[in-house]
Structure 1
Amino acid sequence: MFLNSSSPFKRLFLMASKPQHLHPIAEASVLTSTKKPRTMTTVSAMKDGFANYTDYLNQFNDKRERVVKASRDITINSKKVIFQVHRISKSNREEVLEKAEKDLAAVTSQYISRLVKELQGTDFWRLRRAYSPGVQEYIEAATLYKFCKSGTLLDLAEINATLLPLSDPSLEPLQINVLDYLLGLADLTGELMRLAMGRISEGELEYAENICRFVRDIYRELTLVIPHMDENSEMKKKMDVMLQSVVKIETACFGVHPLIYKISLRRRA
């Protein structure tokens, strides 16, 4: 269901830690050589290069600000989808999920599309920290909706497939990476824990038990994947929170069984 050394810098580090001496002959030639005066062509080229680099930095910073704004909008509107899903109950299930589906589609078409246009055809990994929070929230909302709709997990390939139509076919499309997907998935378990608590209070114990099994499966699979990831420090922190969610759901589900049994006995009497 999920994505199931010697250091290459060690030699460079050792070399850098030792004092480097020029060859005696080369050292003498350097000391005796006279400096050549800079020509106007050289100075002009340096100015042009500096101006071009300044323009590049300005454009990059402007793009970063736009990406941060797009990520913030994605976060805000993805949270609205999550809040909508939490309104689900026995009596309004179809109505709530239909509204959540429309809201999620609006997030994709209005806000994710803006992010895609900013990042397509670029080294979008350089701006990952700027857009990652929004992407994680979007993944959380989309996977929560999919679970409530069908009881299954929305995988990374399905999410990236929805982004392709938003991109210019002639440019490299924005594709969500595995780390952001897993970080969003870790946050999903917290929302599922809250959903399970709500279902238990409404007497939907079987639904809560399905959530419990689903969250437990996610946690078990991720414990097998995370140790093999290079950038897993943030993921390890979320794994601790995820375990707390698993324990809370299990405690609530197992603790309610005796109560249900007593109620059934009273009804029979």
Structure 2
Amino acid sequence: MSTKDGSSRKRKQDSAQTQKADDRDSDVNSLSPMIASFKSFQLELDIRHDKYERLVKLSRDITIESKRTIFLLHRVISPSVPSAEEVLAESDVKLDGVRQKIKQIAEELLGEDLYQFHKAFTPGIQEFVEAVSFQHYIKHRTLISLEDINARLVFLQEGKSEATGPSADPQGMQELAFQVTPTDYLLGVADLTGELMRMCISSVGNGDIDTPYQLSQFLREIHDGFSYIGNTGPYEVSKKLHTLRQSLGKVEDACYTLRVRGSEIPKHMLADVFASRAVPIDPDEGVA
């Protein structure tokens, strides 16, 4: 019994000494400047990761609402819609809601480097550019500029009363601006060409034979602009040039068919004819 009691006491003493040693090491580690630095790095990374995830969610919401706006705008050329002005007014309301989401992105990026988080929200911004430019074309038959888009993304928010400068407001309001990057603008405009191609097909099906010729000229001008960029621009831009050529080719094919065989094909069948015709395009065409 005495031997067992002695062994038990020895194990307890060893365990107590080990625990004390661990406590001392823990105290030393917690006071170590290196450990403190790594903990601060961990906290900073966690904050950035959470911010990135919030931006991804906002981008997803912007993408969904922008797509809904584009679907709505396609109703403008539908003969069943009594008033195009009502559709455009509804699209203004939807785009204003999207702008509020972009305002939240601007708030998240306040004091941050935009390009550190750019990948998180660029899909939504591209979709917003596509929706805004599509609405602008329907209204004015022109391409909206990057400056005009950025001018719509200037917001007012509550600021500190001691703020000074041109962005300060006497009532404590400050300007908060979000700037769409040139790359996001170009990618959004490239996606716009697909919507214009669908608009062309729908217009022909509704008996409108003037819109395809307008769209053909407009798409040709956009294509020429992208051709100047070529491979000197971002990779994503040159990659979407193939889709742009496809859209332009289908619209030009529609115009050709209208000019040559328009009188032979009934108007209600023209849309089906154009939709079924595919334009084979070499994806490497024009790439230097």
Question: What is the TM-score when the length of structure 1 is the normalising length?
Answer: 0.76
1:65-84 deviation digits (Å, cap 9, x = unpaired) = 00000000000000010000
Which stretch shows the higher mean deviation, 207-216 or 60-69?
207-216
CA positional deviation for 1:263: 8.0
Flag the 1:202–1:41 CA change in 2: closer, same or farther, 3 A: closer
CA positional deviation for 1:257: 2.2
The equivalent residue for 1:250 is: 252
The equivalences for 1:177-216 within 5 A come to: 177-216=181-220
**Match of 2:152, SS?**
helix
Structure 2: gaps of 5 or more residues: 1-27, 160-166, 168-173, 267-288
Which of these residues, 227, 235, 257, is aligned with residue 223 of structure 1?
A: 227
C-alpha distance in 1 between matches for 2:242 and 2:265: 35
1:131-181 deviation digits (Å, cap 9, x = unpaired) = 000000000000000000111111111111122225775788431111111
The equivalent residue for 2:270 is: none
Flag the 1:49–1:155 CA change in 2: closer, same or farther, 3 A: same
1:127 aligns with 2:129: no
The equivalences for 1:1-269 within 5 A come to: 44-89=32-77, 91-109=82-100, 111-165=101-155, 169=167, 173-229=177-233, 232-261=234-263
The equivalent residue for 2:13 is: none
C-alpha distance in 2 between matches for 1:164 and 1:121: 16
CA positional deviation for 1:121: 2.1
1:4-52 deviation digits (Å, cap 9, x = unpaired) = xxxxxxxxxxxxxxxxxxxxxxxxxxxxxxxxxxxx7996211111111
Task: Answer whether contact 1:160 1:175 (CA < 8 A) is retained.
Answer: yes
Flag the 1:95–1:173 CA change in 2: closer, same or farther, 3 A: closer
Structure 1: gaps of 5 or more residues: 1-39, 265-269
Flag the 1:46–1:82 CA change in 2: closer, same or farther, 3 A: same
Task: Answer whether contact 2:156 2:176 (CA < 8 A) is retained.
Answer: no
Task: Answer whether contact 1:84 1:96 (CA < 8 A) is retained.
Answer: yes
Flag the 1:192–1:166 CA change in 2: closer, same or farther, 3 A: farther
C-alpha distance in 1 between matches for 2:156 and 2:244: 33
Task: Answer whether contact 1:144 1:188 (CA < 8 A) is retained.
Answer: yes
**Match of 1:176, SS?**
coil
CA positional deviation for 1:223: 0.8
C-alpha distance in 2 between matches for 1:250 and 1:214: 11
CA positional deviation for 1:124: 1.4
Amino acid at match of 1:191: E
Amino acid at match of 1:256: L
**Match of 1:136, SS?**
helix
CA positional deviation for 1:103: 1.3
Task: Answer whether contact 1:71 1:133 (CA < 8 A) is retained.
Answer: yes
**Match of 2:112, SS?**
coil
C-alpha distance in 1 between matches for 2:265 and 2:245: 31
The sequence identity of aligned pairs, in percent, is 35
Question: What is the TM-score when the length of structure 2 is the normalising length?
Answer: 0.72
C-alpha distance in 2 between matches for 1:74 and 1:262: 44
Flag the 1:173–1:123 CA change in 2: closer, same or farther, 3 A: farther
The equivalent residue for 1:8 is: none
C-alpha distance in 2 between matches for 1:238 and 1:92: 34
Amino acid at match of 1:153: L
Considering Cα pairs closer than 8 Å and 6+ residues apart, tell me whether 1 or 2 has the greater RCO: 1
1:99-151 deviation digits (Å, cap 9, x = unpaired) = 21221122112x11111111122101111111000000000000000000111
Amino acid at match of 2:33: A
